Amino acid sequence: MCYEKTFEKKLHELIKNALDEDVGSGDYTTLACIDVKAKGNALLKIKDNGILAGVEVAEKIFSFSDADAIIKKFKHDGDEMHPGETAFEIESKIYNILTCERLVLNCMQRMSGIATLTKKYVDKLKDYHTKLLDTRKTTPNFRLLEKEAVRIGGGYNHRFGLYDMIMLKDNHIDYCGGIEPAISRAWQYVHENNLALKIEIETRNIEDVKKVMKVGKVNRILLDNFSPSQIKEAINIINGAFETEASGGINYENIESYAATGVDFISSGAIINHATSLDLSLKAAIIQ
């Protein structure tokens, strides 16, 4: 299944579950004072500097309960945003606008914060071939939109879950009895089950890298908690035979020194779990 179809399906499920959680047996505040058939307009107002993310998601949320909802977009996902600007105008049933308001804001504020921090990291890598990856260090049941925000900010998604890549980390290796049996068993499993999955293995030192090189049968080598000088040494040993990824102890201040080693990828949990939500608001547009 292609990314777009998978995303649409998962987003539909996310919206349904989120509205079920929030609305429950009914949005009684709105039901008490608003005609369920009345229509209205509202504006998404921007109150922070950053990268806007979640406009397309907001459109899906408003359309979930009102197929006739119309969004007039003034800004789009990935655009720079500044206080005082308007991202979009929504025209829908007033009940729908008020019921969806908090979900839209929660998603867009969080996504915009992640996209903004991701863009800062990506800008540090503009002079290098290294690509920035996210990780599985995400909020349970919100990973879909956190990873989408990374894409909007210019980063790339690592595996989405445990099902779309074979990633042999330290505990897998230790439980298997070492690098050699871990790789061999993973490679055999992939081929016996005819799975189109890449195999990545974590290495903790140069000796681990040398062991992987002897065995082969992987697509990418993760260099975990290596210093830049150690990564350079490892890259010389690997010599282009496999993709390389650096992770561990890498932050905004030192990421450029890691990119300068020539490593193919840098993965960072910080672009998601260190991101701060940005300030947005949804205000009723009263037409006189």
Among the listed residues 137, 159, 211, 217, the single catalytic one is: 137
Selecting among 66, 224, 245, 264, the annotated active-site residue is 224
Pair of tokens at residue 148: 């989408």
Please identify which residue in the block is written with the tokens 């020539």. 262
Task: Measure the CA–CA gap between 259 and 132, rounded to whole angstroms.
Answer: 10
DSSP letter for 244, please: E
End-to-end CA, the chain: 48
Of 202, 208, 245, 264, which residue is the catalytic one? 202
Measure the CA–CA gap between 215 and 147, rounded to whole angstroms.
33
Does residue 137 have an active-site annotation? yes
Give the separation between CA 154 and CA 159, rounded to whole angstroms.
16
- Residue 226 CA: distances (Å) to CA of 70, 182, 203, 230, 250: 51, 21, 9, 6, 10
Query: What does the angle CA 121 – CA 126 – CA 129 come to, to the nearest 5 degrees?
Result: 105
Give the Å distances, CA to CA, from 5 to 8, 10, 181. Answer: 5, 9, 37
- For the chain, what's the residue count? 288
State the catalytic residue, choosing from 169, 174, 207, 283. 169
The token pair that represents 18 in the structure block: 């989120």
Does the annotation count 279 as an active-site position? no
202 is catalytic: yes
Phi and psi at residue 131, to the nearest 5°: -105, 145
CB atoms within 10 A of CB 254: 13
Residue of 9, 16, 72, 102 with catalytic role: 102
Catalytic positions = 102, 137, 169, 202, 224
